[in-house]
Chain A
Amino acid sequence: MMIDVRNLMKSFGNTLVLKDVSFQVNAGEVVCIIGPSGSGKSTLLRCLNRLEEAQGGSIQVFDTDVRHLKEVNAFRRRIGMVFQMFNLFANCTVMENIVLAPVELGLMTRAAAEAKGMELLEMVGLADKRDVYPSTLSGGQKQRIAIVRALEMNPEIMLFDEPTSALDPEMVGEVLKVMQKLAQKGMTMVVVTHEMGFAREVADRVIFMADGVIVEEGKPQDLFSHPQQERTQKFLNCVLNPI
């Protein structure tokens, strides 16, 4: 098992945003977390690599106790993360964005890092962008670069925090395709998303969250076609039939 979260509690000040959340992710599994805004999906994701600190429960990732880590940086190297707002380094070119961490951390020589970066850029179809600055790229291109930057570290798990929510509609597909390719290669992925089509097609399991708890989880065909909980039915009805 790659991720094992039990009875997780997280609050911001007096607001409890995660109340007793438990779930597991196996190696090679793709898990999508869906749910209304403010339900705690992103916070849950950010607890997994300690961008947020939990206040209760346990989080095990690769048998590491995340809440009592001694070396947070060495731990984070093993988990790639992709953000809603891309968060590319504005002062670095595309290639510098990709090689910065592995080179600075002494994991690879610059030449090896760039060679690997080129391969990954080719995989996402952006080899020609290696020397431009992020500000010249479209949202879809930025997000594909952000995925490459995370993959360059050879992560064992990839976390996606609403990777397509900030994109123009016509660019959503190019990012989802890259993610699908990654899933097919057997990457362990946890994806917070509003893309129900992606969840249905690519996920092995879908988790529905609301108000800081996991309301329901299951295989996508079960959860989308036969949601058991009323809260899930209401949410899916709203999302799948907006008009």
Chain B
Amino acid sequence: MEHYLGLFAECWPSLLSGLGTTIFIAAASLFFAFFLGIILAVMGLSPYRPLQAIYHFYIYLVRGVPVMIFALFLFFGMGALLHLQFNPIFAAILTLTVNASAYLAEIFRGGIQAVDQGQVEAARSLGLGHLKTLQKIVLPQAIKIMIPPIINQFITTLKDTSILSVISVRELTMNSQIIIAKNYMPFEVYSYAAIMYFVVIMALSLFARWVERRLRYDD
């Protein structure tokens, strides 16, 4: 036990800096993905066919390609083709932004479509316009539906950062591997990493439950 804790203290600075990078990449990606997701969802919900087609193509493409392959293709493949060396952090954020934006767009679209169409008709029959109906009736209910899956996506994206070790991003998983290459103690070091991921994600989950409870109004 003493050995376990002692080693942890030794690895802590490097692991903590890895965790910092992990959280930074996840937060930056989710920030961009959020806005991209909104734009995509608007395209998916629009009655205009070509926009819907672009939307569906994007969703299927992202869903159909593993994150690791996308990262490798972008960082090494595109890098080779264009004869340039991507910044790993940039490539990482781009990868996860593209990935999360597709899933968030589906969450946004699904949440809006889940709102009872009858209420929309009732609002329109009272003379409320499209935007007012969206603002006062649809969005408040859609957001309530969306919150749990959005936070789920946050957690997924946070975990997906570990895949980015393959493009040498110095996040938590990569730093663990670097330490293990030096001290040959995979049991200890990977358990530290696991615990650190777990603590952050647990905190996020508890936050999600708190938000969900606060948004409850009628049931």
Contact = CB atoms under 8 A, between A and B. Distances in A.
A85 interface: yes
Given A89-B137, A91-B217, A134-B218, A76 B126 contact: yes
Contacts of B137: 89, 91-92
Interface residues of B, number: 21
Contacts of B118: 83, 85-87
Contacts, number: 73
Nearest to B117: A87
Given A91-B141, A104-B132, A149 B126 contact: yes
Interface string B75-106: 00000000000000000000000000000000
B140 A87 contact: no
A105 B122 contact: no
A7 interface: no
A77 B128 CA distance: 8
A90 B218 contact: yes
A153 B218 contact: no
B127 A77 contact: yes
A69 interface: no
Given A73-B128, A91-B137, A104-B132, A133 B217 contact: yes
Interface string A59-90: 00000000000000111110111010111111
A5 to B, nearest CB: 18
Contacts of B122: 81, 83, 87-89, 146, 149
A90 B124 contact: no
A135 B219 contact: yes
Interface in B120-141: 121-129, 132, 136-137, 140-141
A66 to B, nearest CB: 13
B212 interface: no
B125 A76 contact: yes
Nearest to A104: B132
Interface in A87-105: 87-92, 100-101, 104-105
B125 A49 contact: yes
B125 A105 contact: no
Given A51-B121, A90-B116, A74 B127 contact: yes
22 contacts: A51-B125, A73-B124, A73-B128, A77-B127, A81-B122, A83-B118, A83-B121, A86-B118, A87-B118, A87-B121, A87-B122, A89-B136, A89-B137, A90-B218, A91-B141, A100-B128, A101-B123, A101-B128, A104-B132, A133-B217, A133-B218, A135-B219
Interface of B: 116, 118-119, 121-129, 132, 136-137, 140-141, 144, 217-219
Given A91-B218, A149-B122, A150-B126, 12 more contacts: A49-B125, A76-B126, A89-B122, A89-B137, A90-B116, A91-B144, A100-B136, A101-B123, A101-B127, A101-B128, A105-B128, A146-B122
